[in-house]
Structure 1
Amino acid sequence: MDEWIDEGVIPATKAAVQRSGGGSGASEGRSGKRSRGPRVDVPDLSGSVGKTRGQRLEGRVEEAARAFAAQRYLDAQRLLRPIAQEVPRSPEVRELYGLTLYRLGKWKAAAAQLEAFVDLTGGSVEQHPVLADCYRAMGQHPKVDALWRELRDASPSADLVTEGRIVAAGSLADRGELSAAVQMLSKGFKLPARHSDYHLARAYALADLYERSGDVPQARQLFSRLESLSPGYSDVPQRLSALG
């Protein structure tokens, strides 16, 4: 497993995995891993390897997608590794394989697959938060900054941009720039009563940064609001108890 450089906390965003049907969708709290899974439309591989072989590989991709959704990442890796080698120009395969490697903590290998996905799709930003988190894990913060700028400028959806913002703020915090990290998440943000999952994820990350920067009253206030709006979210009850 690649070394994980983690001086900060980035909560996983539940909405991403719920959209894809991958995983349980539960927040991972302090894990730092993003949850964005692919919407797997099994690719047509017959053009690359012929009809018979293509159908066989397509069945394995489908099996790998089921393994990923069930969080059986080693099984998904076993299925996808040879397929990615045999049909390297399938963006669907490279995406799913990259996300599987990411879930296994293989940051460098995951980044390579997700970079290939970006290239093969003509610049898709769909997995930029995960790709950025790989680079964050390896301490390659300039790449995190670049990916965040691309995602922010593309502005594909509120939840996806929020995921990227959380990773970018975590990268700043890793570099000791806690004030800038807080500013990135707090500017123009209030946790609404009618919230989506990405609102909760941003609030959790911000509350954590408040605590780390020594602003315990703000951290307590935001964690309390999280608990009132979404009881039991991540490890919020434990965080509140620790804050006293």
Structure 2
Amino acid sequence: SNNRSSKNKNSKESSSIDRRRRERESEPKVDRRRREPYNAGPSSWGGVARRGAGWLEVTEKIETPERNRNTAYARPEPTYEDRRARAIEEKPTRDKVRYEADAAVNRAKKRTHRSAVVKRSLLPASPRKLPDAEASLVRILGNKDGRRALRRLVEASQAFEQERFFEARKILIPLERQAPGVAEIVEMSGLTLYRLGRWREAAKKLEKFREISGGTEQNPVLADCYRALEWWVDVEELWDELRDASPSGSLVTEGRIVAAGALADQGKVSGAINLLERGWRFPKRAKDYHLRRAYALADLYERSGKIPKARDLFVWITHQDKNYGDVASRIQALQ
């Protein structure tokens, strides 16, 4: 009887084991190493790290409201400024882009106004005596290639004079590679880039020309590049250098006009007027640079509200040249 009871017991145990095995086999296959919802983080993380991250997410969701109510270090309610700053930070809108752009521009202006951007060496007492373009190109490239390069330089100069600036630039690029130190090529390249409105590139070329030539011949154009870039201290340095060198009346006048324009661009209109008025006299025989200076001064008079002075100066210009710019229409507008 004992043997029979033990057999029955063993058969029951085996049948229960078999039943549980069948139940497990009938269940869907699940990777029990992944304990959802406690998995988080990228798949490149290890299993322990991902489960830890998932658990942190779950506990944050559960505990954060109660913790915020009970803790002695609960965060204060955000102020209006905090909410506005956060909104600007979180919303990638046009307002944010405009805000960041304006901030960058303001930082750039503050940085460039304090000191000169370009560190330039002092010029010699007088301009260097350089060989002409033909002699320089023949010396560098040889007789045949040098004369061919000279012809190309003349073609670039003609294209420039006819305001075909892209064509001039196309001709000058290979010449710069062949003879990068020839003053005429560097100068023409800088002037062409200036007329194309590529201020930074033009300034680099004209700074190089200044170093090669040792003169202030292109200081007005160079200063105007920096005026376009709003590098005010560089404009001022180049104007001081040109005024001290005083190479010719026309060059000094051009530099004066650029320097005055830079002051006006900064809102210093009275300073710009003072600069153009200084030493001004009506010439007996007016040249083009006299008319340019008078026009710039009349324009500043009008901007500052000195209408009678502006009108009188515009009228004087028409007596020298009836068709000078838009002077006639400006006089009519000031009547």
- Please indicate, yes or no, whether the TM-score normalized by the shorter chain is above 0.5: yes
1:191–1:200 CA contact under 8 A, matched in 2:
no
Is the 2:134–2:146 Cα contact (8 Å) retained in structure 1? no
User: Percent sequence identity over matched residues?
Assistant: 50
Distance 1:42 1:101, change over 3 A: farther
Instruction: Return the letter of the residue paired with 1:141.
Output: W
Which digits, 9 at most, give the CA deviation of each residue in 1:43-77, with x for residues without a partner? 63122222222222111101111111111111111
Map of 2:241 onto structure 1: 150
The two structures have a TM-score, normalised by structure 1, of 0.80
The residue number in structure 2 matching 1:109 is 201
Does residue 81 of the first structure (1) align with residue 173 of the second (2)?
yes
Report the number of matched residues: 204
Taking structure 2 as the reference length, what is the TM-score of the superposition? 0.59
Aligned to 1:202: 293
Residue 216 of structure 1, aligned match among 281, 284, 307: 307
Match of 1:168 among 259, 268, 276: 259
Gaps of 5+ in 1: 1-39
Structure 1 residue aligned with 2:316, among 222, 225, 228? Answer: 225
Q: Deviation digits for residues 81-135 of structure 1, max 9, x if unmatched?
A: 12112211011100011101111111111111111101111x2100000000011
| Partner of residue 47, structure 1 | 139
Unpaired segments ≥5 residues, structure 2: 1-131
User: Which runs of structure 1 show a deviation greater than 3 angstroms over 4 or more consecutive aligned residues?
Assistant: 40-44
- Letter in structure 1 aligned against 2:137: L
Which position in structure 2 is the counterpart of 1:132?
223
- In structure 2, the residue corresponding to 1:192 is in which secondary structure? coil
| 1:190 has 2:190 as partner | no
Structure of greater Rg: 2
Query: 1:104 and 1:145, CA in 2 relative to 1: closer, same or farther beyond 3 A?
Result: same
CA RMSD of aligned residues (A): 1.4
Residue identity in the other structure for 1:126: E
Q: Which residue of 1 aligns with 2:212?
A: 120
8 Å Cα contact 1:193-1:229 kept in structure 2: no
Paired residue secondary structure (2:241): helix
Q: Separation in 1 of the partners of 2:189 and 2:199? A: 12
**Larger fraction in helix:** 2
